[in-house]
Amino acid sequence: MSIRDYSRESAGQRAGRDRKRHRDKCREAIRQGLARLVAEQDIIGADRKGKKASFRIRAFPEFRFTFGRKTDAVGSGSSQKRGDTFRTGKGDPRKGGRAQAGSDPGDDVYEVEVTLEDVDAFLFDDLELPDFLVKQLRQIPVPDRGGMTGITRHGALSRLHRRGTVRTRLRRTQAEEFAGGAADDGFIDDDLRFRRLSERVRMASNAVLICMMDVSGSMDDSKKFLARVFFWILYRFVQSKYEHAELVFITHHATAREVNEEEFFHTMESGGTIVSSAYELALETIAHRYSPDEWNIYAFHISDGDNWQDDNRHVIETARKLLECCNLFGYGQVNPTDSFYFPVAPSMQWSTVFDVLRPLEGEFPNIGFVKIETKEDVYPQFRELMTREKVKGVRHGAS
């Protein structure tokens, strides 16, 4: 009857409202079960287990009367024999790959397995290292074991060239037989041949990401969760841009200490907050282990903004030193909307770490700030951090 193009008209608004309501319901559920969520998902550690990351799409459950699993189903398209069994895989195929029931009562969790490379491609494809970082990207010579370039008579047993060895022995024994000498007496040292590997020097880029986080009492689970998501994205970004990336975790309250990943995300300590202690430890770590001549250094600190006021001056001093040796020094303030602790209100006569560090922005191009309130903020904020500087760089170039 008629054909009309509606696609340039604004999409219906009805979905917006219902999507928001659904997300709010999920958020409420997550807030209640947050500790478990953080404990379950090793976001940063995901790549060590076969480079797979589970992406969870949280969906609020709708309850219905359903049949149990022991019901007949019909499949098609492959030749089977009666009694054949096949693995069920992760989810029930009849439910579109839904996670196995029982893992998470009350939560409809769709587990989507994607390789981390996919995720990186999705996240970072259109995102380049900001100009100010590219300029400083340092190439570091590393010895590189390239491919096999030939056969040699000496070497480590692990590089034994079996075929070459056998061939040499055959040649030798046949020559001996031909000369009427002794019979075959097995391998002798002279037979052994080894692979020769090229030893080239390659320019590689190394990066270290120093994660600093406030673990004082006011950093509750929801704040730590946001911090963790941010660090994960930053780490994946650094890892995708550099060939070798390392992680350093520093937690602090009144004093700072280096911890492992597990502790970093799961410890909760009480006490005051002295931010500069973390910066000092970071500087120390850099001095001892990650010389700026060899490493691209990314330092990022996340807290809820709280600091002992007398420490502020020291914070600026140490931050300045960090900025001098780091590609990027960033500070993130998390104020989740669903946190039990209220963020420091601007009306209070109390300056947050953000206020303290902010003046440095004019002085150093490589300082960055993010403010995160919800999980959804994390990635846009991260993008902004990476693209904002780029724009600025372009503008500088033009002037």
Partner 1 sequence: MALHDWTIADLEAWDRRVREVVQSFRLTPYPVDFRIYDYEQMLDMHAYHMPFRYSHWSFGKTYDVQRTLKHFELTSLAYEMVVNTNPAQAFCWRDNSLPLHVLVMAHVYGHSDFFANNVWFRTLTNAAGALELFRAHADEIAAYSEDPSIPFDRIEALMDAAHALMFHRPRILGRRRETPQRQRARLVESRRAEPGEWDHLKPRDERVPPPLELDRVPLEPDEDLLRFLAEYAPLQDWERRVLEIVAKESDYFMPNVATKVMNEGWATFWHDRIFHALPERPAEFDVEYADKMSGVVVPGGLRMNPYHIGWHIWTDIYRRWEDPDPQERHDWGRRGGEGLEKLFEVRDTEDDASFIANYLTDELIARLKLFRYQWAREADGQSVYRVLDVPDPEGYEKIRRAAVMQVGNNLFPMLRVIDANYYHDRTLILEHVHDGRDLKIFEPELPLRDVRAILREKGELSGEVLVSETGEVLKHIQSIWKNPLVLQTRYDGTLLALRCDREKRITVEIG
Residue with tokens 């970082």: 133
If one asks whether residue 64 binds partner 1 (CB under 8 A), the answer comes out as yes
Closest CB to partner 1 among residues 81, 154? 81
Residues sharing a CB contact under 8 Å with residue 252, sequence separation 6 or more, in sequence order: 212, 213, 214, 215, 216, 273, 274, 275, 277, 278, 281
If one asks whether residue 85 binds partner 1 (CB under 8 A), the answer comes out as yes
Closest CB to partner 1 among residues 48, 82? 82
Asked if residue 226 lies in contact with residue 190, where contact means CB atoms within 8 angstroms, the answer is no
Containing 392, the helix (H) or strand (E) segment is: helix 375-398
If one asks whether residue 126 binds partner 1 (CB under 8 A), the answer comes out as no
If one asks whether residue 115 binds partner 1 (CB under 8 A), the answer comes out as no
Three-state SS sequence of 266-277: HCCCCCCCCHHH
**What does DSSP assign to residue 11?**
P
Rounded (10°) angle between helices 221-241 and 116-124: 90
For residue 78, the minimal CB distance to partner 1 (Å) is 6
> How does strand 328-334 pair with strand 367-372?
parallel
Q: Which of 33, 45, 61, 146 binds partner 1 (CB under 8 A)?
A: 61
d(CA 216, CA 64): 44
Residue 218's alpha-carbon distances to 47, 65, 340, in angstroms, are 30, 43, 9
Q: Which amino acid is at 186?
A: G
Closest CB to partner 1 among residues 27, 252? 27
If one asks whether residue 188 binds partner 1 (CB under 8 A), the answer comes out as no
Closest CB to partner 1 among residues 71, 399? 71
Choices 73-81, 276-284, 304-312, 362-370; region in contact with partner 1 by CB under 8 A: 73-81
Q: Which of 6, 158, 179, 288 binds partner 1 (CB under 8 A)?
A: 6
If one asks whether residue 395 binds partner 1 (CB under 8 A), the answer comes out as no
Instruction: Please tell me the total number of residues recorded for the chain in this structure.
Output: 399
Q: Is 325 helix (H, G, I), strand (E, B) or coil?
A: helix
If one asks whether residue 71 binds partner 1 (CB under 8 A), the answer comes out as yes
If one asks whether residue 49 binds partner 1 (CB under 8 A), the answer comes out as no
Q: Which of 48, 49, 50, 74 binds partner 1 (CB under 8 A)?
A: 74
Closest CB to partner 1 among residues 95, 396? 95
Choices 77-85, 196-204, 232-240, 274-282; region in contact with partner 1 by CB under 8 A: 77-85
If one asks whether residue 11 binds partner 1 (CB under 8 A), the answer comes out as yes
For residue 390, the minimal CB distance to partner 1 (Å) is 25
Choices 20-28, 184-192, 224-232, 283-291; region in contact with partner 1 by CB under 8 A: 20-28
For residue 81, the minimal CB distance to partner 1 (Å) is 6
Per DSSP, the residues of 262-328 read HHHHH----S---HHHHHHHHHHHHHHH--TTT-EEEEEEEE-S---GGGHHHHHHHHHHHHHH-SE
Closest CB to partner 1 among residues 83, 180? 83
Rounded (10°) angle between helices 221-241 and 375-398: 40
Closest CB to partner 1 among residues 108, 269? 108
For residue 32, the minimal CB distance to partner 1 (Å) is 16
Catalog residues that contact partner 1 under the rule CB under 8 A: 1-8, 11-12, 14-15, 17-23, 25, 55, 57, 59-88, 92-94, 97, 100-102, 105, 110, 112, 114, 118, 122
